[in-house]
Amino acid sequence: MTAMTIEIPNRERATSRFRSQRWIPFWLSGPAAIFFLILLGLPLLMTLALSFYTFDYTQGIGETLTVSHYAEVLSDSYFHEIFLRTYAISLVTTLLCVLLGAPEAYILYRMRNPWRSIFLLVTLGPLLISVVVRTLGWVLLIGGNGLLSHAMQALGLAGTRGFSLMYTHTGVVIAMVHVLVPFMVISVWASLRKLDMSTNDAALSLGASPFTALRRVIFPQILPGVLSGSLIVFALTASYFATPSIIGGRRLKVVATSVYDEYLSSMNWPLGATIAVVLLILNVIIVMSYSRWVENRFRRTLGEGGA
Amino acid sequence: MSVDSRRNGRTALVFHTLFVIFLMAPLVVVILVAFTPNGYLSYPTSGFSLRWFRAILDRPDFIEAFYHSLNLGLVAATLATVMSVPAALALARFQFVGRDFLNGLFLSPLMIPHIVLGVAFLGFFSQIGLGGTFASLVFAHVIIVMPYTLRLILAAVMGLDRETERAAVSLGASAFTSFRRITLPQMLPGIAGGWMLAFITSFDELTMTVFVASPSNTTLPVKMYNYIEQTVDPLLASVSTVIIVLTVAFMLVLDRFYGLDRVLSGKG
Amino acid sequence: MSFLTLDALTKRYGDVAAVDDLTLSLEQGEFVSLLGPSGCGKTTTLQMIAGFVAPSAGRIVMDDRDMTALAPSARGFGIVFQSYALFPHMSVAENVGFGLEMRKVPKSERMRQIDEALELVRLGHLHSRYPRELSGGQRQRVALARALVIKPPLLLLDEPLSNLDAKLREEMQIELRNIQRDVGTTTLMVTHDQGEALSMSDRVVVMDQGRAMQIDDPFRAYEEPADIFVSTFVGKTNLLEGRMASNDEGRPCVELGLQRLEMAGLGRVGGGSVRLSIRPERLEMTPCRQGLVDGRVQTRQFAGDHWLYQIDTPMGLLLATCPNCGPAGFEVGDDVGVRWNPEAVRLLNDTPTQTAAAGAPL
Ligand SMILES: Nc1ncnc2c1ncn2[C@@H]1O[C@H](COP(=O)(O)OP(=O)(O)O)[C@@H](O)[C@H]1O
Ligand SMILES: [Mg+2]
């Protein structure tokens, strides 16, 4: 979810000699454009429309239009709690990803080959492994019969009934951090690749301690990477489904799992669509305003718009 | 001796070790549990056994889901690539009305939560009578993987030195020959990297697919998710272990070929 | 006692010695250049002095104080990095003030010194710009101001001008040297550009493969190259082969063309042949049969202030330059003679000798 648009330099305006080429770009991009307009545009519009239809548990989706679903989602404290929980989990997950991912990226950057390549692979590789598999690992670790429970029992910290983080905020956050922290590493890594390490030497030569050099010289230069990584992690967590669903279960509903339940358990599609639309709008607002802020903040110094 | 300012200190290495343990622990646990000789979730403390790997063979539904995922990944990644190559050329090489709109349109699935895409596709495909078909899975997956193929291919086109094409034309090549012999080969790493990232993304996708899949057309992640909802047993661990091994092999190829950090910079 | 002494400084990476047994003394206020081809160990030397790279052997002594084990921040040297290493997220003034801030200089005093340093490099008006908004030459000057504002006892410059285009580079050479004279800071500069080293330095250290081949003032390094490497790397030269002979009084001499040369140091050479060097500008072109050797003009190039000839002679291809005082005297294909003064011929050591390399400071 970084740079939504790739900056494309404007080509010089077509001169008359190239008039005949005017239609080429439309032929080239036409198939994909039609595909996207039909298969992405229509479904989204239909979902938006669906969110305005009435629903009745006995008769299903009605014929008349209403804004009652929006009224419900925006006023009912049940939904407030779900949204608040979702964004609280996102915030904590994002903070932890910054605290873990940014230092790790810098440590990787300072390693030498072959260690650097090996650990880069170890750190980023999990992104390619199915989320279901990674989350299952946490179920096995923190579940009632898991390694953590056994360890706690052996240390006498948990009773005979064992110790489980399943269906807790802590459990969900731990697993989410695990799933998403590679995004932070890769994002900070991209910033580090543009970093001139001799600025660190320069700071040391001017009398800075290694820690001061890190804080005053290195960190500000990788801040854009940290900020864009935060945006990715935050936005993904806010709409994540698999991990909260498996670890948090029905007891800890988040926005994504409540959409799932409205659609596939309650079969109340209009209400589910409403929650989805609200989620989408919030997501877009957050991403857009955050990107704009980051861009303004760094345009003069680092010449990049982080997110 | 003076400190070498470019080395990691001891604290950094301790942090790194803990970080790697944190990343690897769940995967290691899954692999360990897969080898348990017991009939329930446990670590193989009393010896290793392959019984849960043999158990996979008794589950044709898992094997079928695996094949569906594989087919889906291949078809969706290929379709997305085939559409991305000309689209990338149009976006990178031409100034035309609606270019910025198209660029935003093609990349927009990155910003739309998969849960939203899932319900949108569920409504749409059931409305037009394609609900639960393999075709609907393909269409939905092309939409979500095309931003990845397009990004990497676009980067390849824009990083390409146009002087090389002019050189080919000056040496007597036709526009088509120059494209086939000069442009396309230089785009190839981007195309291959994009295809592979698209394939693995499609293969792993759960959130959206949960809505589009049907019992007869399901994918491995969906199958596993539904299974976890019922029960967690060592069969899941052995299936996961197979996935881990295959993914790691795939990842090593991808890294050799294109550089994992470069590919994944396009994934966020 | 000298100000800064490098004592048998050595850095080994595995089996290769990046810097090999380098001994060098700098006087207070002196401007010394490390000159050598890429990869000869100049940067490594500088980084060891700065404290970023730990020496494998040897010592760095300043004012009788052993600095070898000191952390970079405790040395207080001013360094201008090849990439300038400006802090991109700080304004020009913040960059220059960073070292003062680290020294806890109070704000008002800091401002005054920043202004002073920026005045020194004539950038007073660019105070609040960011590095990205500066030209290459301006960045270079900010880096210099940042290094000088802390009043370092020693200024280290790593190829400070190599990122500038040719014209700007020449201007900056003069300006840099003037600033250095004004502030009087002892300076060690790394460069691979022999013109730059010769024109700016009090002394040059010519390095090859980690070793100092000659340490001398620029004139002597050019005029009295210690060996073949120095004579070819510092300026252009003609390498000639002379045959050993003895003159009428039985003293050893060298036969070169029609000339018999008596030279100091011939006693050390055995029989056979010796290597000689003569600079192109020391060759004089004459009409045929009026010189010491005859040849034919093979190529001629115009270089603005001089003409450059390649002359095919029995002694080999000779390079000769003539100052441009009106139209060229000779055409390609002309038969010409070539003449030189016996004093212009230099005897070269085939193998570097330690006596030549250890040349004492003047
Ligand atoms: N960190 C290092 N590891 C291994 N070899 C190095 C390292 N740094 C420099 N070298 C080697 O030491 C030699 C001298 O390098 P350097 O001092 O950078 O040369 P110069 O600045 O004169 O171009 C080179 O051959 C280089 O390859
Ligand atoms: Mg160097």
- Regarding whether C170 and C84 lie in a shared domain, the answer is yes
The whole-model pTM stands at: 0.83
Element at C213 (helix H, strand E): strand C211-216
CATH superfamily of domain region A75-306:
MetI-like (1.10.3720.10)
Asked if pLDDT for residue A9 goes beyond 70, the answer is no
Q: Which ligand is nearest to the CA of C34?
A: 1
- Give the total residue count for chain A: 307
C155 CB under 6 A from ligand 1? no
Are C190 and C86 found together in one domain? yes
Query: Which one of C95, C102, C188 makes the best mutation probe of the A interface by having the most chain A beta carbons within 10 Å?
Result: C102
CA A259 to chain centre: 18
Check which CATH number belongs to the domain holding C144 and give it: 3.40.50.300
Helix A169-193, helix A77-110: angle, nearest 10: 40
Query: Using one digit for the tens of pLDDT, what is the confidence trace for C103-159?
Result: 999 999 999 999 999 999 889 999 999 999 999 889 999 999 999 999 999 999 999
Instruction: Please tell me whether residues C252 and C143 are part of one structural domain.
Output: no
Please tell me whether residue C277 adopts helix, strand or coil conformation.
strand
Start-to-end Cα distance in chain B = 43
Helix, coil or strand: residue C155: strand
**Choice between C326 and C70, residue whose per-residue pLDDT is larger:** C70
Q: Do the chains contact at A205 and C83, CB–CB below 8 Å?
A: no
Pair of tokens at residue B166: 């002019």
Ligand 1 pocket mutation, candidates C9, C10, C12, C13, criterion most atoms within 8 A of CB: C13
Domain boundaries, chain B: 59-264
**Closest chain C residue to A220 measured between Cα atoms?**
C89
CA torsion angle A293 A298 A304 A305 (round to 10): -10
Instruction: Give the C-alpha separation, C268 to B31, whole Å.
Output: 77
Atom of ligand 1 nearest to the CA of C41: 17
Q: Residue C356 falls within a domain, yes or no?
A: no
Written as six digits, the tokens of C339 are: 């003449």
Pocket probe for ligand 1: among C43, C46, C188, C190, the residue whose CB has the most ligand atoms within 8 Å is C43
Given a cut of 50, whether residue A306 has pLDDT beyond it is: no
Rounded CA separation B117/B124 (Å): 10
Name the percent of chain A lying above pLDDT 90: 64
Beta strands C31-35 and C203-208 are: parallel
Read off the pLDDT of residues C185-238 as tens digits, 9 standing for 90 and up. Answer: 999 999 999 999 999 999 999 999 999 999 999 999 998 888 889 988 888 888
Q: Is ligand 1 within 6 A of the CB of residue C18?
A: yes
Write down the pLDDT at residue A161. Answer: 66
C221 in a structural domain: yes
Q: pLDDT band at A285, cuts 50/70/90?
A: very high
- Per the listing, tokens 């300038």 go with C84
Q: Closest partner residue to A206 among C71, C98, C133, by Cβ?
A: C98
Tell me, yes or no, whether C346 lies in a domain. no
Q: How many residues does chain C have?
A: 362
Contact A208, A216 (CB under 8 A): yes
CA pair distance A122, A115, nearest whole angstrom: 10
Domain range annotation of chain A: 75-306
Exposed e or buried b per residue across B148-169, where buried means at least 16 C-beta atoms within 10 angstroms of its C-beta: bbbbbbbbbbbebeeeebeebe
* Residue A4 reports pLDDT greater than 70: no
Rounded (5°) CA angle B32-B36-B40: 115
Question: What are the φ and ψ backbone dihedral angles of C179, each rounded to 5 degrees?
Answer: -60, -45
Q: What is the DSSP string of C2-53?
A: -SEEEEEEEEEETTEEEEEEEEEEE-TT-EEEEE--TTSSHHHHHHHHHTSS
Strand (E) or helix (H) holding B99: helix B99-107
Please name the chains neighbouring B, where neighbouring means 3+ C-beta pairs under 8 angstroms: A, C
Same domain? For C166 and C218 the reply is yes
Q: Which residues contact C272 (CB under 8 A, 6 or more apart)?
A: C243, C244
Helix or strand run (H / E) with residue B170: helix B162-170
Q: Are A217 and C87 in contact (CB under 8 A)?
A: yes
From 1.10.540.10, 2.60.40.10, 3.30.565.10, 1.10.3720.10, which CATH number describes the B59-264 domain? 1.10.3720.10
pLDDT in tens, chain B (268 residues): 334 556 788 899 999 999 999 999 999 999 999 998 888 787 777 888 898 999 899 999 999 999 999 999 999 999 999 999 999 999 998 888 889 999 999 999 998 999 999 999 999 999 999 988 999 999 999 999 999 999 999 999 998 888 888 888 877 788 888 888 888 988 998 999 999 999 999 999 999 999 999 989 999 999 999 999 888 889 999 999 999 999 999 999 988 888 888 877 755 4
Atom of ligand 1 nearest to the CA of C40: 22
Residue C206 belongs to domain spanning: 4-227
Please indicate, yes or no, whether residues C173 and C263 belong to a single structural domain of this protein.
Answer: no
Are C24 and C160 within one domain? yes
Both C55 and C192 in a single domain?
A: yes
Mean of pLDDT over chain B = 90
Mean pLDDT, chain C, whole residue set: 87
Q: Return the closest-CA partner of residue B126 out of A47, A55, A274, A32.
A: A47
C328-359 tens-digit pLDDT: 678 888 899 888 888 888 888 765 443 333 33
Q: Provide the β-strand partners of residue C34.
A: C190, C205
Q: Give the number of domains in chain C.
A: 3
Q: What Å distances lie between residue A166 and A150, C287, C333, CA to CA?
A: 15, 101, 94
Sign of CA dihedral A229, A231, A233, A236: negative
Q: Which residues contact C336 (CB under 8 A, 6 or more apart)?
A: C285, C286, C287, C288, C291, C294, C295, C296, C297, C311, C330
Same domain, C30 and C177: yes
Cα gap B38→B234, rounded to integer Å: 9
Tokens at residue C30, please?
A: 């002196």
pLDDT, residue B206, reads 94
Residue located nearest, by CA, to atom 27 of ligand 1:
C39
Kindly report the number of other CB atoms within 10 A of residue B66's CB atom: 19
pLDDT of residue B107: 93
CA atoms within 13 A on the CB side of B248: 11
Distance from the Cα of A286 to chain C's closest Cα (Å) equals: 26
The answer to the question of residue C160 being in a domain is yes
Ligand 2 centroid–CA C39 distance in Å is: 7
Closest C-alpha among B121, B147, B151 to residue B202: B147
